[in-house]
């Protein structure tokens, strides 16, 4: 059901800066893709093109092998959930849910009503009467219940409290099992949601930094833990991201892959080799690019 996406040499220039710089990547269908980057990295610019808000003028974007801009079928099958200003939106929640079937052929009204109950949203209110967190939860409800082949969440959790975000994440995973689709989840806050991602695309200043499966990406770094002297000796020529000490024990985060031989040497020295979190890797890679 989900769409496959291919991006080739995508470049977007504004008057003052370059938002995207020759991006090249592909996204497999029916997976949850984490699009990671700091604020201003170019995430939203990229997503507005994928969701047909604007055409690709330099480079190529193909969704299921077709140019999505002005393609009615692709546009109907794409939902873009982003932070909106609802100050002057007097639409009643109940009315919006009823009318969604006209715009999204896969929309499940019963599921949407079930979700607003879970998020404790009154369908008698208008959208502008909701708090910021409830507005975000309502947007998420529309995105999930639309069951669109391409569903995009761009920083969609803004204003939501921790229990609401956790409910969102669990519903996202459950829905993906029931109705697989291509989901792009854009964020600069990685630590609490990295377990959601099948694949990861990491960009900074409009450029692609890393792309691959979640497992492939986190293998770009390791943690080394053991006696301080042994850790120092083993890591003296490696790129250290961070380090911690507790008594005579030291743990360091290392950027870069370790060969099989290096891993065996570490183990023979009594050192424990572990993987980095996606959050740690993200912070390091984007910080280095900034500097």
Residues 225 and 209 in one domain: no
**Angle CA(129)–CA(119)–CA(91) in degrees, nearest 5?**
30
pLDDT tens by residue, the chain, 291 residues: 899 999 999 999 988 889 999 999 999 999 999 999 988 889 999 999 999 999 999 999 999 999 999 899 999 999 999 988 898 999 999 999 999 988 999 999 999 999 999 999 999 999 999 999 999 999 999 999 999 999 999 988 878 999 999 999 999 999 999 999 999 999 877 888 999 999 999 999 899 999 999 999 988 889 999 999 999 999 988 988 888 899 899 999 998 888 889 889 998 999 999 888 899 888 888 874 443
Average pLDDT, the chain: 92
Residues 98 and 115 in one domain: yes
SS3 174: helix
Give the domain-ending residue among 163, 185, 213: 213
Residues 99 and 66 in one domain: yes
Cα 30 from Cα 36, distance rounded (Å): 19
Give the CATH number for residue 39. 3.40.50.300
Give domain status of residue 17, yes or no: yes
Please report the pLDDT score of residue 113 as a whole number. 97
Domain span at 26: 5-213
For residue range 249-262, list pLDDT tens digits in order.
999 999 888 888 98
Q: Across the beta sheet with 199-204, what order do the strands follow?
A: 78-81, 150-154, 182-187, 32-36, 199-204, 207-213
């Amino acid at each position: 059901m989900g769409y496959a996406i291919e991006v080739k040499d995508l470049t977007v220039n504004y008057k003052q800066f370059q938002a995207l710089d020759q991006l090249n990547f592909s996204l497999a269908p029916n997976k949850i893709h984490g699009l990671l980057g700091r604020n201003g990295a170019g995430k939203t610019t990229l997503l507005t093109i994928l969701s047909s808000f604007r055409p690709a003028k330099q480079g190529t974007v193909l969704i299921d092998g077709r140019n999505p801009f002005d393609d009615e079928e692709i546009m109907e099958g794409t939902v873009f959930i982003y932070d909106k200003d609802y100050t002057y939106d007097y639409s009643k929640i109940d009315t919006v849910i009823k009318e969604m079937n006209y715009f999204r052929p896969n929309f499940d009204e019963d599921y949407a009503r079930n979700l607003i109950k879970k998020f404790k949203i009154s369908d008698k209110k208008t959208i502008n009467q909701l708090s910021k967190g409830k507005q975000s939860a309502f947007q998420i409800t529309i995105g999930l219940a639309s069951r669109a082949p391409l569903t995009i969440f761009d920083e969609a959790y803004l204003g939501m409290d921790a229990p609401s975000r956790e409910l969102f994440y669990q519903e996202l995973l459950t829905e993906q099992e029931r109705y697989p689709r291509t989901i792009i989840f854009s964020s600069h806050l990685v630590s609490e949601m990295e377990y959601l991602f099948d694949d990861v695309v990491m960009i900074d200043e409009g450029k692609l930094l890393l792309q691959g499966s979640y497992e492939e990406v986190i293998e770009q770094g390791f943690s080394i833990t053991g006696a301080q002297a042994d850790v120092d000796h083993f890591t003296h020529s490696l790129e250290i991201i961070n380090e911690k000490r507790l008594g005579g024990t030291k743990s360091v985060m290392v950027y870069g892959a370790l060969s099989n031989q290096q891993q065996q040497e570490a183990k023979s020295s009594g050192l424990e080799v572990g993987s980095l979190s996606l959050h740690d890797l993200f912070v390091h890679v984007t910080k280095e690019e900034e500097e």
